Structure 1
Amino acid sequence: MKIIEGAGRWTPPTGPANDWVEQLRTSDLSVGTYCIPAGGVDDQSPHTEDEVYVVTAGRARIVTPEATAEVGPGSVIFVPAGEEHRFDEVTEDLALLVVFGPAYGSRALER
């Protein structure tokens, strides 16, 4: 067992980019926190792994080619590997607990 300290907690980005911190990594999954400040721009690109977001703080909209949805604390979002997605209209500092399966970036290394 491991308690993952700080996972999902809002942390202001320290530079011009949004803040991504990986807090746990195994071969089968990784867990981290992604923070976007109010008014910020989400510039991520599709991932090679399946992904689950849990909104722990803030409000925004998630946009994919097929749908758009308002999200806030308690929202849980599944994004399959390869699907384009981004958060926009971030109206409150957004903190997301992120779970990747398998671990973030691990499939990209297989290519």
Structure 2
Amino acid sequence: MEIIKGAGKWAQPAAGAANDWVEQLKVPDLSVGTYCIPAGGVDDQSPHTEDEIYVVTAGRARIVAASSEAEVGPGAVIFVPAGEEHRFVDISEDLALLVVFGPAYGSRA
């Protein structure tokens, strides 16, 4: 067992950075991290080669994907299949996301 400290907690991105991604756990079959985008910020991610689950822990935004779009806030759980274009837009409050990749992030690259 392992307690993953800091997972899902808001962190201000470094000066000049559009957002902040920190991977907190990585094993072959999954990885866990935190993705933060400040209010009014830009989500510049590209599609991933792994399936992904987001859990919104703080903030409000809209997620736009190839298959649909939705308003999200604390408690929302979002599944994005591998390869699907997606991004968070209209970020009205600092957004913190707990992110789970299966298999581990970058393992299919």
TM-score w.r.t. structure 2 length? 0.97
Query: Which aligned runs of 4 or more in structure 1 are off by greater than 2 angstroms?
Result: none
Task: Mark the runs of 5 or more structure 2 residues left unpaired by the alignment.
Answer: none
Q: Which moved more, 1:33-42 or 1:10-19?
A: 10-19
Measured in 2, the distance between the counterparts of 1:37 and 1:72 equals 14
* Structure 1 unpaired stretches of 5+: none
CA distance in 2, matches of 1:6, 1:34: 11
Q: CA deviation at 1:65?
A: 1.6
Q: TM-score, normalised by structure 1?
A: 0.96
Greater share of helix residues, 1 or 2? 1
Q: Name the structure 2 match of 1:74.
A: 75
1:92 CA drift (Å): 0.1
Count of residue pairs brought into register by the alignment: 108
How many angstroms apart in 2 are the aligned matches of 1:70 and 1:31?
23
Query: Following the alignment from structure 1 to structure 2, what is the Cα–Cα distance between the partners of residues 17 and 27?
Result: 29
> Which letter maps to 1:105?
G
Q: CA deviation at 1:35?
A: 0.1
* Secondary structure in structure 1 of the residue aligned to 2:108: helix
Alignment of 1:32-71 (within 5 A): 32-71=33-72
Cα shift at 1:25: 0.3
**1:32-76 residue CA offsets vs partner (Å, 9 max, x unmatched):** 000000000101000000000000000000001221100000000
For residue 102 of structure 1, what is the aligned residue in structure 2? 103
- Work out the CA distance in 1 between the residues paired with 2:28 and 2:85: 24
- More strand by percentage: 2
Whole-Å separation in 1 of the counterparts to 2:56 and 2:107? 24
